[in-house]
Amino acid sequence: MKTVRFGIIGLGLMGREIASAAARWCHLEDLDFRPEITAVCSRSLPPGRVDWFKRNFPKIDQVTKDYRELIASPNVDAVYCAVPHHLHAELYSAIIRSGKHLLGEKPFGIDLAANAAILAAIRERHDVMVRCSSEFPFFPGVQRLFQLVESGAFGRLIEVNTGFLHSSDLDPNKPINWKRQVRQNGAYGVMGDLGVHVCHFPFRAGWTPLNVRAVLSNIIEQRPDGGGNLVPCETWDNATLLCETADKQGKRFPWTLKTQRIAPGQKNTWYVEIYGTNASARFSTKNPKRLELLNYTGGEQAWREIDLGYTGAFKTVTGEIFEFGFSDSILQMVAAFLHEVAHGRPLLPAAGCVTPEETALSHRLFTAALRSQAAATTEAV
Ligand SMILES: NC(=O)c1ccc[n+]([C@@H]2O[C@H](COP(=O)([O-])OP(=O)(O)OC[C@H]3O[C@@H](n4cnc5c(N)ncnc54)[C@H](O)[C@@H]3O)[C@@H](O)[C@H]2O)c1
Q: Are 138 and 333 in contact (CB under 8 A)?
A: yes
Q: Encode pLDDT of 125-139 as tens digits.
A: 999 999 999 999 999
Q: Encode pLDDT of 85-100 as tens digits.
A: 999 999 999 999 999 9
Residue type, 313: A
Q: Are residues 165 and 312 in the same domain?
A: yes
Answer whether 0.85 is exceeded by the pTM: yes
Mean pLDDT of the chain: 97
CA 295 centroid distance within chain: 30
Ligand 1 contacts CB of residue 8 (under 6 A): no
Domain contains 288: yes
Q: What is the DSSP string of 76-129?
A: -SEEEE---GGGHHHHHHHHHHTT-EEEE-TTSSSSHHHHHHHHHHHHH-TTS-
Q: Are residues 112 and 161 in the same domain?
A: no
Residue type, 237: D
Residues 272, 106: Cα–Cα separation, whole Å: 19
Residues 81, 337: Cα–Cα separation, whole Å: 13
Cβ neighbours, 10 Å, residue 315: 12
In the predicted model, what is the mean pLDDT of residues 213-222?
A: 97
Q: Are residues 50 and 184 in the same domain?
A: no
Cβ burial of 204 (10 Å; 0-12, 13-18, 19+) is: buried
Q: Are 18 and 330 in contact (CB under 8 A)?
A: yes
β-pairing verdict for 252-260 and 379-380: unpaired
Q: Which of 63, 71, 58, 51 is nearest to 22 (CA)?
A: 58
In the predicted model, what is the mean pLDDT of residues 98-105?
A: 98
Ligand 1 contacts CB of residue 50 (under 6 A): no
Q: Encode pLDDT of 318-345 as tens digits.
A: 999 999 999 999 999 999 999 999 999 9
Domain contains 345: no
Residues 212, 380: Cα–Cα separation, whole Å: 6
Q: Are residues 77 and 209 in the same domain?
A: no
Ligand 1 center from residue 12 Cα (angstroms): 6
* pLDDT at residue number 123: 97
What is the number of domains present in the chain? 2
Q: Is the pLDDT of residue 226 over 90?
A: no
In the predicted model, what is the mean pLDDT of residues 223-246?
A: 95
Range of the domain at 142: 137-321+355-380
β-pairing verdict for 101-104 and 130-132: parallel
Q: Encode pLDDT of 53-82 as tens digits.
A: 999 999 999 999 999 999 999 999 999 999
Pocket residue to mutate for ligand 1, from 8, 11, 43, most atoms within 8 A of Cβ: 43
Q: Are residues 87 and 163 in the same domain?
A: no
Could you tell me which residues come within 8 angstroms of residue 18 by beta carbon, excluding any fewer than 6 positions away?
Answer: 8, 80, 82, 103, 330, 334
Ligand 1 center from residue 66 Cα (angstroms): 15
CA dihedral 212, 167, 85, 128 (to 10 degrees): -80
Q: Are 331 and 140 in contact (CB under 8 A)?
A: no
Domain contains 219: yes
Domain contains 334: no
Ligand 1 contacts CB of residue 82 (under 6 A): yes
* pLDDT at residue number 119: 98
Q: Are residues 145 and 96 in the same domain?
A: no
Q: Are residues 361 and 306 in the same domain?
A: yes
Ligand 1 contacts CB of residue 43 (under 6 A): yes
Identify the CATH number of the domain in which residue 68 sits: 3.40.50.720
Q: Are 80 and 103 in contact (CB under 8 A)?
A: yes
Using CA positions, which residue lies closest to atom 23 of ligand 1? 10
Q: Are residues 252 and 168 in the same domain?
A: yes
* pLDDT at residue number 47: 94
